[in-house]
């Protein structure tokens, strides 16, 4: 979901790395470690203590970080963190620090790693600290780690710890709308072994970075290359889990798209060329039915090959609640690339956008498919369609506590 900004920078200047890697000094880390859980290999956590938020230990930094002006809060530049370091039993918040790991640690060899992306917001009305649907992130992280035999954990307890962490660093979250603290819960296997087996120890940590608006000067529509030589996920694979394993193989298709001046790649599946995801975001397509003219908002179904995006789920729920009454049909279904192309040719394509935590929505201008450039419905002077804009506004109103009609905004106590 951080792809857009990076890819854009990439296209604009090939030596983008210097700008990405020059982080300023982060300030804090939170961590909890877990060891020796091999009582039952298929249920490693059974009978062992879960995370106990009441045992949290906090070590304040002695060199507090200076608050940067909002304009410098660029995604991925400044970090404040939690780092996992001392057992499920005693969660800790410490100053940001490196991890010291044996080179035979299994995370380096066999990709024992899973993560989440989430954000903390300051409520526009009362300045309270808010998380957005943290239960969804915790449930997904637990599903991800279970798939690679890492230990699961109590998501509610961990959400409380994330709240404590955010409170300590809330001065880094500007109250201006669009600003937030990006949070990266991460679990890695830490056992030192070259044997391919379950990791006997794990580290769960969170790092954070104050971030500004994803589109500081308004939406910027992106263009895609439909990838026909590589496949992101497969039935029976792990494409629906947020595992590190799903990400490194995405880079070459990204770079190949960038080499053609496009921002990101579009993943297709099978001979039918079903539309699945864009880069590391879910994808939504709005079009009119050929027969009835009914407007339909479509995203790929959760068949095991699609990441179960929290933004995807939220967009679907909001669309069902607020757009169906205006005649929209909201569909989780397969859509072939050829159907999208036909809709465009016949003037039935309304708009296309990606959905993810970083940008909420990423409007798509065009898609290169089989040497054909498909226009996705935006006017030349337009950077986003009406549905994408509406969704971003609806989502932000909930995230910043202006819209209390859902139970999605979690107030940190």
Q: Which stretch binds its own copies (CB under 8 A): 47-55, 170-178, 204-212, 387-395?
A: 204-212
Q: Which stretch binds its own copies (CB under 8 A): 15-23, 87-95, 172-180, 366-374?
A: 15-23
Residue from 5, 136, 220, 295 binding its own copies (CB under 8 A): 5
CB 297 → its own copies: shortest distance, Å? 26
Residue 229 CB burial class (10 angstroms; 0-12, 13-18, ≥19): exposed
Residues 247-276 that bind its own copies (CB under 8 A): 247-252, 254-256, 258-259
CB 257 → its own copies: shortest distance, Å? 11
Contact criterion met (CB below 8 Å) for 82 and 207: yes
Q: Is 38 in the site for its own copies (CB under 8 A)?
A: yes
Residue 178 CB burial class (10 angstroms; 0-12, 13-18, ≥19): middle
CB 229 → its own copies: shortest distance, Å? 7
Helix axes 134-147, 155-168, angle to 10 degrees: 120
Q: Is 7 in the site for its own copies (CB under 8 A)?
A: yes
Distances (CA, A) of 281 to 202, 264, 309, 359, 378: 27, 10, 8, 10, 20
Residues 120-179 that bind its own copies (CB under 8 A): 147-149
Q: Which stretch binds its own copies (CB under 8 A): 72-80, 131-139, 282-290, 384-392?
A: 72-80
Contact criterion met (CB below 8 Å) for 153 and 160: no
Q: Is 108 in the site for its own copies (CB under 8 A)?
A: yes
Interaction pattern, residues 175-194, with its own copies; x per rule: CB under 8 A: -------x-x-x-xx-xxxx
Task: Classify residue 158 as left (phi > 0), alpha (psi -120 to 50) or beta.
Answer: alpha
Residue from 36, 127, 393, 411 binding its own copies (CB under 8 A): 36
Q: Give the nearer residue to its own copies in terms of CB position, either 198 or 377.
A: 198
Q: Is 119 in the site for its own copies (CB under 8 A)?
A: no
Q: Which stretch binds its own copies (CB under 8 A): 34-42, 55-63, 312-320, 380-388?
A: 34-42
Q: Is 99 in the site for its own copies (CB under 8 A)?
A: yes
Distances (CA, A) of 370 to 96, 226, 336, 367: 47, 8, 14, 10
Q: Is 16 in the site for its own copies (CB under 8 A)?
A: yes
Q: Give the nearer residue to its own copies in terms of CB position, either 30 or 408.
A: 30
CB 389 → its own copies: shortest distance, Å? 25
- What is d(CA 159, CA 256) in angstroms, rounded to the nearest whole number? 38
Helix axes 134-147, 310-322, angle to 10 degrees: 140
Residue from 58, 67, 104, 317 binding its own copies (CB under 8 A): 104
Q: Give the nearer residue to its own copies in terms of CB position, either 22 or 292.
A: 22
Q: Is 359 in the site for its own copies (CB under 8 A)?
A: no
Task: Classify residue 261 as left (phi > 0), alpha (psi -120 to 50) or beta.
Answer: left
Residues 208-227 that bind its own copies (CB under 8 A): 209
Q: Give the nearer residue to its own copies in terms of CB position, either 279 or 377.
A: 279
Count CA within 13 A, CB hemisphere, residue 73: 26
Count CA within 13 A, CB hemisphere, residue 233: 28
- What is d(CA 150, CA 200) in angstroms, rounded to the nearest whole number? 8
């Amino acid at each position: 979901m951080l792809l857009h900004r990076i890819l854009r920078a990439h296209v604009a200047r090939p030596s983008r790395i210097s700008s990405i890697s020059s982080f300023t000094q982060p300030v804090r880390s939170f961590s909890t470690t877990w060891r020796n859980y091999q009582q039952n290999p298929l249920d490693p956590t059974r009978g062992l203590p879960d995370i106990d938020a009441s045992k949290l230990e906090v070590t304040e930094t002695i060199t507090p970080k200076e608050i940067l002006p909002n304009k410098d809060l660029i995604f991925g530049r400044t970090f404040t963190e939690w780092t996992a370091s001392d057992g499920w039993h005693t969660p800790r918040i410490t100053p940001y620090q490196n991890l010291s790991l044996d080179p035979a640690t299994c995370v380096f060899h066999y990709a024992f790693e899973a993560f989440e992306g989430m954000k903390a917001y300051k409520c526009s009305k009362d300045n309270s600290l808010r998380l957005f649907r943290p239960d969804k992130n915790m449930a997904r992280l637990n599903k991800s780690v279970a798939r690679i035999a890492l230990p699961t954990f109590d998501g509610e307890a961990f959400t409380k710890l994330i709240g404590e962490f955010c409170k300590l660093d809330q001065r880094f979250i500007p109250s201006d709308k669009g600003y937030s603290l990006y949070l990266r819960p991460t679990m890695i296997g830490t056992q030192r072994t070259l044997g391919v087996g379950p990791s006997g120890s794990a580290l769960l940590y969170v790092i954070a970075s104050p971030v500004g608006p994803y589109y500081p000067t308004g939406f910027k529509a992106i263009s895609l290359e439909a990838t026909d030589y590589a496949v992101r996920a497969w039935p029976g694979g792990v494409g629906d889990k947020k595992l590190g394993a799903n990400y490194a193989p995405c880079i070459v298709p990204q770079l190949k798209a960038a080499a053609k001046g496009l921002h990101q790649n579009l993943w297709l599946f099978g001979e039918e060329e079903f539309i699945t995801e864009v880069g590391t975001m879910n994808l939504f397509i709005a079009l009119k039915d050929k027969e009835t003219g009914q407007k339909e908002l479509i995203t790929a179904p959760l068949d095991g090959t699609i990441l179960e995006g929290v933004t995807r789920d939220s967009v679907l729920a909001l669309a069902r609640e607020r757009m169906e009454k205006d005649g929209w049909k909201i569909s989780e279904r397969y859509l072939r690339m050829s159907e999208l192309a036909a809709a465009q040719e016949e003037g039935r394509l309304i708009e296309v956008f990606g959905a993810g935590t970083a940008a909420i929505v990423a409007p798509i201008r065009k898609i290169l498919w089989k040497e054909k450039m498909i226009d996705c419905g935006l006017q030349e002077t337009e950077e986003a369609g009406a549905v994408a804009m509406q969704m971003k506004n609806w989502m932000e109103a909930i995230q910043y506590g202006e819209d209390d009609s859902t139970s999605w905004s979690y107030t940190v106590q």
